[in-house]
């Protein structure tokens, strides 16, 4: 929370080149199944939350934008390509997963149901593992070194290499 009791959120892209702060109440979180959102996110759906009633500040590089339709621009990191924004005449939404604490922003509505892929509702019934429990990934994970930006603000990124 900020000093005036407005909620404050932060987030950014995978590589850390784009970072943002949002101060104030977020709108309703949503999941969109339309084909345009699928393509924009490279995923089976895209979760978004409106920031139109809040103050958004880009604290590092601003996203690059792609005009995906006559009404909408979509913002993404110019370095790593992380999808970040949906910008329409009625305001901007940010991808929920780009927030440092996406678990705090639950979708409350679905859109674009005509594009919903038929297996989406079956996902909860699939076998599941935590990352460390996946027997086929154990050896691979022992050697994994993440270069992903952490889920908090840093003075600079990437960190300086120690010599």
E-strand spans in the chain? Answer: 8-12, 19-23, 29-32, 46-50, 55-58, 64-67, 73-76, 83-88, 91-95, 107-111
At residue 102, the pLDDT reads 98
* pLDDT top residue among 104 and 130: 104
At residue 1, the pLDDT reads 57
Domains and CATH numbers, the chain: 8-119 (2.170.150.70)
- Interval 3-35: pLDDT, tens: 568 899 999 999 999 999 999 999 999 999 999
DSSP 90: T
- Interval 131-155: pLDDT, tens: 888 888 888 988 999 999 999 999 8
């Amino acid at each position: 929370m900020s000093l005036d009791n407005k909620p404050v959120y932060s987030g950014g892209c995978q590589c850390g080149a784009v970072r943002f702060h949002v101060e104030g109440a977020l709108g309703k979180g949503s999941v969109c199944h339309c084909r345009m959102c699928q393509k924009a996110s490279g995923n089976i759906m895209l979760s978004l939350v409106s920031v139109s009633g809040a103050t958004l500040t880009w604290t590092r590089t601003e996203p690059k934008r792609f005009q995906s339709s006559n009404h909408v621009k979509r913002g993404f990191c110019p370095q790593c390509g992380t999808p970040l924004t949906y910008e329409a005449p009625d305001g901007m939404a940010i991808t929920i997963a780009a927030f440092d604490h996406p678990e705090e922003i639950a979708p409350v509505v679905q859109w674009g149901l005509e594009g919903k892929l038929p297996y989406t509702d079956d996902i909860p019934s699939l076998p599941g593992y935590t990352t460390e429990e996946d027997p086929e990934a154990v050896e691979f994970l022992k050697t994994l070194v993440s270069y992903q930006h952490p889920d908090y603000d840093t003075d600079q990124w990437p960190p300086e290499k120690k010599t």
